[in-house]
Amino acid sequence: MSDTRTTSDAASGTGTGGGGADPTRAISRRRLIGTAGAAGAAGLVAGAAGGSAAYAATRPDEPTALATVGSASVAFHGAHQAGITTPMQARGHLVALDLAPGAGRREAAALLRRWSETARRLMAGEPAGERDTGVALDAGPSALTVTFGFGRTFFDRTKLAARRPSALDPLPAFSSDHLDARRSDGDLWVQIGSDDALVAFHALRTLLKEAGDAAHVRWQMNGFNRSPGATARPMTARNLMGQVDGTNNPRPAEPDFDRRIFVPAKPPTGTPDWMAGGSYAVVRRIRMLLDEWEALPVDRQELVIGRRKSDGAPLTGGTETTALDLDKTGPDGKLVIPDNAHARISAPEQNGGAAMLRRPFSFHDGIAADGTPDAGLLFICWQADPLKGFVPVQRKLDRGDALSAFVRHEASGLYAVPGGPREGEYVGQRLLES
Ligand code: HEM
């Protein structure tokens, strides 16, 4: 797959989306406002100016033509599955399924074949088939990605235990875990992301219907991120605690990125060949105790992370991208970034180089029985080996992270996500048919 979204301009006739936009209307609108980018900038200026006149000027009665958000598409085929290095989308669904009683390798192979063909079509902005429900009609692919993974139990159900990677050994228990088994694990895991809520729902609904009698939903979680275009320039996302989150993620341009995040094309001894180009996803539903967090003054919140809330810069100075100075002390002789600050404890240099790509969605499932917001982070991290990524870091965070008092890990999953399919291949074929 391509690492970046490709965009096309449907108003000029090159869009891949479902059509629907009247080109004449689109063009007259373009004459008025210039490009979609200029429209976005105008919106921001107007937003800053405030007032209903400005609002009306940027929210015309007629719908906006399919613009960059709708026309962005991500390739289904490639060395790696989509949805790992793809920029985070505004909407996400995570769903785990268990194979139905009596369903085994043959049924699993048929399901992955169906699912792959549907994912390919939907990611290209095509309808799912004859009986498409129409929910995503009029929208472009909207950066849709569908990513498939296998949980530990999948290999028992399909009698493929001999080909199960040892990296799928159960995660250790952590002292602060409050895990709900019914919302954890699962034979199959599907991650759906899109910048449009209807496109994401449509993909989810279509794939679940295609599971038919072969597999049943074990759990589903729904998440979101900031919408593309909501900020004046592309920025690192914020989470529901208000922190800039994702700054120190490994970047694809870094020389050791692939080694850290993906299983190599020639997997090392002990890793099965079918995982070539694959990755392991650790998924944690992390509830945020927002009432407690929000009661904390901002300077105390900043000490919990070790970074400024306003712009994500380290407390030791500079801008968001300046390296943390972990040795710097203040006039009182104390470390500026405290011993138990989250960014200190999770830094690779504190964990023998352990690194992971964090690509989460926020969630908000209303108000819990105790009257507090059921909200937090659907933490998803990607790594070539969970024992060199998530596990050592979480062990350390579990022992002494200042953030622990404000979060609760409520569900957990670990999935082997095979490499991307070649043309004509379905995801997981190298495991299921060889
Ligand atoms: C709700 C729970 C969590 C919140 C709110 C949170 C928030 C943050 C924030 C604000 C940063 C600093 C900015 C950045 O570099 O992204 C950060 C860094 C980081 N977090 Fe978390 N985090 C959470 C859970 C976790 C978990 C469970 C892990 C892994 C076990 C983790 C691993 C990391 C890593 C590796 C970094 C980068 C450290 C560095 O290289 O400087 N975080 N997190």
Q: In tens digits, what is the pLDDT along the chain, a chain of 434 residues? A: 443 444 332 222 222 223 233 333 332 333 323 333 333 333 333 333 333 444 444 555 665 555 689 999 999 999 999 999 999 999 999 999 999 999 999 999 999 999 999 999 999 999 998 889 999 999 999 999 999 999 999 999 999 999 999 999 999 999 999 999 999 999 999 999 999 999 999 999 999 999 999 999 999 999 999 999 999 999 999 999 999 999 999 999 999 999 999 999 999 988 999 999 999 999 999 999 999 999 999 999 999 999 999 999 999 999 999 999 999 999 999 999 999 999 999 999 899 999 999 999 999 999 999 999 999 999 999 999 999 999 999 999 999 999 999 999 999 999 999 999 999 999 999 999 98
Per DSSP, the chain holds a count of helices (H) and strands (E) of: 13, 9
245 lines ligand 1 (CB under 6 A): yes
Give me the pLDDT at residue 61, please. 61
Q: Separation of 116 CA from ligand 1 center, angstroms?
A: 32
H/E segment holding residue 217: strand 215-224
Q: Which pTM was predicted?
A: 0.88
**Which candidate in 98, 187, 196, 245 is catalytic?**
245
Q: Which pLDDT does position 65 carry in this prediction?
A: 59
| Pairing label, strands 145-150, 91-99 | unpaired
* Run of H or E including 379: strand 373-383
Q: Is 345 in the pocket of ligand 1 (CB under 6 A)?
A: no
Closest C-alpha among 88, 63, 93, 94 to residue 74? 88
Task: Determine the distance from the C-alpha atom of residue 31 to the mean position of all C-alpha atoms in its chain, rounded to a whole number.
Answer: 36
Interior angle at CA 137, CA 136 and CA 140, nearest 5: 75
Beta bridge partners of 282: 381, 414
State whether the Cα torsion 407-410-416-419 is positive or negative: negative
Beta-carbon contacts of residue 69 (< 8 Å; ≥ 6 apart): 142, 143, 195, 196, 227, 228, 229
Distance between Cα 257 and ligand 1 center (Å): 18
Q: Computed from CA positions of residues 180, 185, 190, 192, in that sequence, does the dihedral angle turn out positive or negative? A: positive
Rg, C-alpha atoms of the chain: 23
Euclidean distance between CA atoms 256 and 356, whole angstroms: 12
Closest ligand 1 atom to 394 CA: 30
How far, in Å, from the CA of 343 to the mean position of ligand 1?
6
pLDDT of residue 97: 99
Nearest CA to ligand 1 atom 26: 394
Question: What integer pLDDT is reported at residue 41 of this predicted model?
Answer: 34
Burial class of residue 184 (count of CB atoms within 10 Å of its CB; 0-12, 13-18, 19+): buried
Known active-site residue 245: yes
Please return the burial class of 5, using the count of CB atoms within 10 Å of its CB with bins 0-12, 13-18 and 19+: buried
